Amino acid sequence: MKNNIIVKKFILLILFCFLSVIFVLPLVKTNIIFYGDDLIFQLHRILEMVTNFKNGNLFIGIYTYTFHSIGYPLNLFYPWVTLLPFIFFGLLVKNSVIAIYIGIAFYTFLTLTFTYWTTKKFSNNNLQSFMTAIIYTFCSYRTIDIYARFALGEFIALTFLPLCVYGLYAIVLGNSKDWPFLGFGMSFVLLSHLLSVVLYAIFLFLLFIIFITYKKIKRRNRVIDLGKAILISILSSAIFWIPFLEQETYQKISQPDKMDMVAQALLPSKVIIESLNNNLTRGDAGNTYNIGIILFLAIIIGIEQYKDWNKNYKIIYLLGIVFLLVSTSLLPWNLIEKTPLSIIQFPWRFLTISSYLLSLVAGHECYILISIIATSYYKRIIVILVLSIITIAPWYAGITNFKNPVNNNEKFALATFTPRGVNYTDSGKKVEPALYHLGDYAPIDGTKKLPEIISKNASINGEKFTLKKTIVKPNEIEFNNSKFKNSRNITLPIFAYRNLKVYNKNDQELLYKVNSYRQIVVRKTNNSNLIKVKYQMSNLDKFSVVTSMLTWIIGVISFVRNKKWLGSLKKTKF
C-alpha cells in the first residue's frame, strides 16, 4: 500500500514536470523571448543579479552594471528574493534565453504542485485537485502575465496564492496545524510583488469576514494561529521589508506612476469576446486581458449546477464572478482612483484572484462530470486525459497566435546577456530610459535632475562637465576625472541613499553632503582624482538577512520532521 502511494506520487511528479515543459515549449523552441510590457525592465534586473553573483556579491544595494549605471537602488524597493531561481539557471546555463524559460517552467511546476496540494487538503479528492491545478496553471491571465506582459513579479506571486487561501481556510475553519501555509505563502508573495500583497490582503480580509460570519469557530484559537502566521510572514520577508523601510524613512521617494484607472478598466463586452477567443496577446489599455474560455465556460456551467453545490462552493463561485466584475468598467473607478486603492494601477489585476477562484470551481465541475460518466478506474483516466487536452488545447492555440508576427508587431527581444547589457535582436528601436522606469524610486526632489544623472553630468562649484570615465563593480561606482584633484564641492551624478559611503582612490572615507536635488556633493577629495561611491550593508541589512534565512531553515526543518503536516490530506473537506 505504501509503495503504491509512493509510485502514484512519483507519477504525479513526472506529470507536473511534463506539463511545466509544455508551458514553455512552444516559445522556447524559437530561442527568443518575445517582447512584453516589462521585458526590458525585468531582464536587466536578472542581468544585474547574475553579474553580481558572478563577482561574489549576494546582496545588491545599488545597480551598477545595468539601468545606465546610475546607482539605481532597485533591490531595496522592489522584491528580489524570488528571482533567485532565474539567477541560478542564468549561472548554470550558457544560453540566457533557455535559462529564462527554465525559470518560468520552475515556477509553473511549483504552481501545479501548490495548487494540487492545497486543493487536495480541503477537498480530499485527487481528480478534482489535478484538474484544478492544470486549469489554474494554464489559465489565460497567468499566461498573459508572463508572456504578453512579462510581469515577472506578479507572475511569481500567483504561484503562492493557493498557499495563502488554503492557509486562511485552515486557520479559520479546518486544520489549525496548517497555519504556516498562510505565513510563508504571504511572505513569498511579499518577496515577489508588493502590489500583489495589496490585492491578496483585500481578498483574504473579505474571505475572513465571510468565513467567520457563517461558521461557528473557536475564535481565541484562530486568532492565535492567525497571529503566528502574521509573525512568520514578517520574519520570513524581513530580508526585503527592513531594507525597504530603512530607505523609505530616509527621504521621500517617487513611487510608480498612478494610472488612469477608468481607461484601464476592462470593457465587459471585450472580456466576454476575448475570453471566448482565449486571446493571449498584448492589448491597448488592458482590453484584451481576460479569463479565457475554460473559466468562462465554468461560469456558464455553474449557473446550472449552482443549486446543487454546498455553501462553500457557492461562495467561491460568487466571489470569482465578483472579482471578475471588479476588474471591469462596471465599477465607478473614477471615484476609486481617488482613494489609496489607486496604488494597484490597473483594475484588471483583480483577474488574478478571479482566475484562481474560478479554477477551483472548474476543478469541482470536472470532478462532478468524471463521477457521472466514468465509473471504472481506467475510464476515469481516459476522461481526465480528455479534459486535460480540452484545457490545454485553447491555451496552445492562444500561444500560437501570440507568437505570430501579426500580433507581435513590436518585434522580438533578447539574444544574449553581455557585460554591457542585453543584446536585442530585431528590437527595431533604441532602449529608452523610460523603459527602465528609472524615475520610480528616485528621490522626489531629484527627479528633474534624472536626465543629467543618466548623462553623467557632474559639477564643481556649479561648473558643469560630463564624466566620460566610470568604472563599475558590485555595489560600487568609481568616478574618475582630473578636475577632481584638490577640488571642493563636487556634485556627482548619483542620488544619495542611506548606507552609501564615499571614498577616494586610497580608500579614505570622504565627507559629503546632499544638495537640494538629493545628489551627493563631495566636500573635498584629499588630493585624489578618483571618487568611489559604495553601498555598504548596515547592521539592519545584515539582521534582516539572518532573520529571513533562519526562518526559512527552521520552516524547512519543521516541515520535513512534521510527518502529520507533510502528509495530512484529510479532515478538512469542502
Written as nine digits, the cell of 160 is 503562492
Q: Are 513 and 540 in contact (CB under 8 A)?
A: no
Written as nine digits, the cell of 211 is 468565513
> What is the C-alpha to C-alpha distance for residues 161 and 185, in angstroms, rounded to an integer?
7
Contacts with 105 (C-beta within 8 Å, 6 or more apart), sequence order: 20, 21, 23, 24
Query: How large is the angle between the packed helices 292-305 and 126-137, nearest 10 degrees?
Result: 140
**Model-level pTM?**
0.92
Residue 12: how many CB atoms within 10 A of its CB? Answer: 17
For residues 420-438, give the mean pLDDT: 57
Distances (CA, A) of 254 to 251, 259, 325, 534: 10, 14, 31, 22
Q: Are 260 and 284 in contact (CB under 8 A)?
A: no
| DSSP string covering 515-563 | -TTSEEEEEE-SS-SEEEEEE---HHHHHHHHHHHHHHHHHHHHHHH-H
pLDDT of amino acid 292: 95
Q: Are 231 and 183 in contact (CB under 8 A)?
A: yes
Contacts with 519 (C-beta within 8 Å, 6 or more apart), sequence order: 446, 449, 453, 491, 492, 493, 494, 495, 496
Where residue 435 falls among pLDDT bands split at 50, 70, 90?
Answer: low
Parallel, antiparallel, or unpaired for β 512-514 and 488-495? unpaired
Written as nine digits, the cell of 314 is 457557492
Burial class from Cβ neighbours inside 10 Å (0-12, 13-18, 19+) for residue 380 reads middle
Where residue 365 falls among pLDDT bands split at 50, 70, 90?
Answer: very high
Q: What is the DSSP letter of 445?
A: G
pLDDT of amino acid 55: 93
Written as nine digits, the cell of 411 is 518585434
For residues 111-135, give the mean pLDDT: 95
pLDDT of amino acid 286: 59
pLDDT of amino acid 212: 79
pLDDT of amino acid 404: 76
Contacts with 170 (C-beta within 8 Å, 6 or more apart), sequence order: 121, 122, 176, 177, 178, 179, 181, 182, 572
pLDDT of amino acid 417: 55
What would the pLDDT profile of 314-329 be if each residue is shown by its tens digit?
999 999 999 999 999 9
> What is the C-alpha to C-alpha distance for residues 209 and 220, in angstroms, rounded to an integer?
16
pLDDT over 60 (residue 493)? yes
For residues 470-486, give the mean pLDDT: 92
Q: What is the DSSP letter of 195?
A: H
pLDDT over 90 (residue 569)? no
pLDDT of amino acid 260: 76
pLDDT over 80 (residue 143)? yes
What would the pLDDT profile of 186-201 be if each residue is shown by its tens digit?
999 999 999 999 999 9
* Higher per-residue confidence, 548 vs 574: 548
pLDDT of amino acid 444: 92
> What is the C-alpha to C-alpha distance for residues 309 and 318, in angstroms, rounded to an integer?
12
Buried b (16+ CB within 10 A) or exposed e, 280-298: bbbbebbbbbbbbbbbbbb
pLDDT of amino acid 407: 58
Contacts with 341 (C-beta within 8 Å, 6 or more apart), sequence order: none
What would the pLDDT profile of 252-291 be if each residue is shown by its tens digit?
998 776 777 888 889 999 999 999 999 998 776 557 899 9
pLDDT over 80 (residue 465)? yes
Please, which contacts does 469-475 make with residues 24 or more away whose CB atoms are closer than 8 Å? 470/69, 472/64, 472/65, 472/69, 473/55, 473/64, 474/51, 474/52, 474/55, 474/56, 474/57, 474/60, 474/64, 475/52, 475/57, 475/60, 475/61, 475/62, 475/64, 475/534, 475/535, 475/536
Burial class from Cβ neighbours inside 10 Å (0-12, 13-18, 19+) for residue 250 reads middle
| 401, amino acid identity | N
Contacts with 307 (C-beta within 8 Å, 6 or more apart), sequence order: none
> What is the C-alpha to C-alpha distance for residues 341 and 450, in angstroms, rounded to an integer?
28
Average pLDDT, the chain: 88
Where residue 443 falls among pLDDT bands split at 50, 70, 90?
Answer: very high
* Higher per-residue confidence, 425 vs 498: 498
pLDDT of amino acid 37: 83
Give me the percent of the chain exceeding a pLDDT of 70.
Answer: 90
pLDDT over 70 (residue 412)? no
Q: Please list the alpha-helical segments (H only) found in 306-376.
A: 311-326, 333-336, 351-373
Written as nine digits, the cell of 197 is 500583497
* Higher per-residue confidence, 172 vs 218: 172
Where residue 568 falls among pLDDT bands split at 50, 70, 90?
Answer: very low
Residue pointed to by grid coordinates 472579482: 323
pLDDT over 80 (residue 418)? no
Buried b (16+ CB within 10 A) or exposed e, 45-80: bbbbbbbbbeeebebbbbbbbbbbbbbbbbbbbbbb
pLDDT over 70 (residue 408)? no
pLDDT over 60 (residue 153)? yes
Q: Which of 374, 402, 376, 400 is nearest to 387 (CA)?
A: 374
pLDDT of amino acid 251: 93
The alpha carbons of the chain give a radius of gyration, in whole angstroms, of: 25
> What is the C-alpha to C-alpha distance for residues 266 and 68, in angstroms, rounded to an integer?
35
Lowest mean pLDDT among 309-313, 494-498, 525-529: 525-529
Most trustworthy range by pLDDT among 33-42, 218-227, 408-417, 565-574: 33-42
Residues, the chain: 574
Q: Are 19 and 393 in contact (CB under 8 A)?
A: no
Written as nine digits, the cell of 210 is 465571510
Where residue 33 falls among pLDDT bands split at 50, 70, 90?
Answer: confident
Through-space distance between the first and last CA atoms of the chain, rounded to whole angstroms: 26
Written as nine digits, the cell of 396 is 496552445
pLDDT of amino acid 376: 81
For residues 339-350, give the mean pLDDT: 85
Residue pointed to by grid coordinates 526590458: 40
Q: Are 230 and 375 in contact (CB under 8 A)?
A: no
What would the pLDDT profile of 86-108 be if each residue is shown by its tens digit?
999 999 998 888 999 999 999 99
Q: Which of 298, 279, 300 is nearest to 290 (CA)?
A: 279
